[in-house]
Structure 1
Amino acid sequence: MTTRARGRTQSGAAADADAGEASQWRHTALDARPGFLIRRLHQIHVALFVEECAPEGITPVQYSILTALEQMGPSEQIALSRAVGLDRANTADVIGRLVERRFIQRRGSRTDKRKKVAELTDVGRALLGRLETGVARAHERTLAALPPADRKQFMAYLLTLVETNNELSRTPVMREGKRKAGGDES
């Protein structure tokens, strides 16, 4: 058999294997599919977060922006977008709502007037302090069905899945080591 014919046979076998896997998922119950379960777990966690943080009326995405600002310091909106995995338009919208509630302030960049820099306010810092217990409870309740040792392993698996597939996302998250300075130093 020639190298060329062998290559066709191998790629044909790979196509057959792919078709077999696709058929397997098609005949798998919804509640046994990873995508379905991940989406359901996300819905459940959001419900727990909203319940635990109801008095403050804050969403998980708003909390992510506030937390990113606390960790990064004053940051351009694009840096925040990359830090939380949210597209620019939605990031600007969330920031606008947080500005209205005085949790953050926004100003033009000192180095590039076309760019906007967001900064956590004292009111925003106080909010994060008030949210700390409720957010912790939401995270704990999300993982509560797992034995403590399995929670750590589950989190490690989640991190592996997310980091391995990060670039496939419409809004890949830039990790600390890969991120350029988010602040507006001038």
Structure 2
Amino acid sequence: MGTVTEKKAAVSNPTIETGHLWQRPGFLIRRLNQIHVALFFESCKDFAITPVQYGLLTTLSERPGLDQTSLCAEVGVDRTTMADVLRRLEERGLVKREPSPDDGRQKIANISVKGRRVMNEMYESMRDAQVRFLAPLAPEERVEFVRMMMQLVEGNNQYGRTLLKHFD
């Protein structure tokens, strides 16, 4: 991973040019997010589900019964956004919330039968968006690109508004 001194040296002596907008990682990541969201909506147009909503349904499918704070850490969004996403999904009958048996002040969320059905029906469309997004890369580059993105997220997680908790 490298020592703190090595990390500081890497930051103070960048090996990339950042003078032009198209050379800045932050700009490129923001643009890639715009492109991905557009592809997601195009591929998943029949479902009226956002990428964050689909991510939340996936998380609840894999880890049922999480409270809002835990969901924020799983999905990587702030509490206000999570409350809004949960409310919208609950209104559509895709998620159910109930008081926590351990702490009455908290509510736990679970994916509903309808939510699981929609998530499963959407899977191929969601996957199509991912495949189309990565299509300009060679197969081995796709794996490396995702690995490098995961490394960047993990290495910079502490700077996000919400700390993302990663479970293997």
TM over 0.5, shorter chain: yes
> Match for 2:35: what amino acid?
I
Question: Which position in structure 2 is the counterpart of 1:3?
Answer: none
Matched with 2:87 is: 96
Per residue, is there more helix in 1 or in 2?
1
Select the residue among 159, 168, 172 that pairs with 2:163.
Answer: 172
- Output the CA distance in 2 between the equivalents of 1:118 and 1:156: 30
Whether 2:97 is the aligned partner of 1:106: answer yes
**Deviation (angstroms), 1:170:** 1.2
Alpha-carbon separation, structure 2, partners of 1:35 and 1:175: 22
Q: Secondary structure at the match of 2:163?
A: coil
Tell me how far 1:159 sits from its aligned partner.
0.8
| Corresponding position of 2:3 | none
Cα distance between partner residues in 1 of 2:110 and 2:103: 16
State the 1:166 CA deviation: 0.8
Q: State the alpha-carbon separation in 2 of the partners of residues 31 and 159 from structure 1.
A: 22
Structure 2 equivalent of residue 36 of structure 1 = 27
Q: Tell me the residue number matched to 1:6.
A: none
* TM-superposed deviation, 1:67: 0.6
For 1:42 and 1:80, the matched residues in 2 are separated by 21
Q: Is 2:133 aligned against 1:142?
A: yes
Question: Within 1, Cα distance between the matches of 2:29 and 2:98?
Answer: 37
Matching residue of 2:5: none
Q: How far apart in 1 are the matches of 2:93 and 2:150?
A: 33
Matches within 5 A, 1:19-168: 25=18, 28-168=19-159
- Unaligned runs of at least 5 residues, structure 1: 1-13, 178-186
C-alpha displacement of 1:91? 0.3
Whole-angstrom CA distance in 2 between matches of 1:68 and 1:167: 21
Residue 104 of structure 1 and its aligned partner are, at CA, apart by 0.5
**Structure 2 portions without partners, runs of 5+:** 1-7
Secondary structure at the counterpart of residue 46 of structure 2? helix
Q: Distance in 1 between matches of 2:58 and 2:68?
A: 14
Deviations, residues 45-74 of structure 1 (Å, cap 9, x unaligned) = 000001111111000010111011001011
User: Runs of 4 or more off by more than 4 Å in structure 1?
Assistant: none
| TM-score, normalising length: structure 1 | 0.81
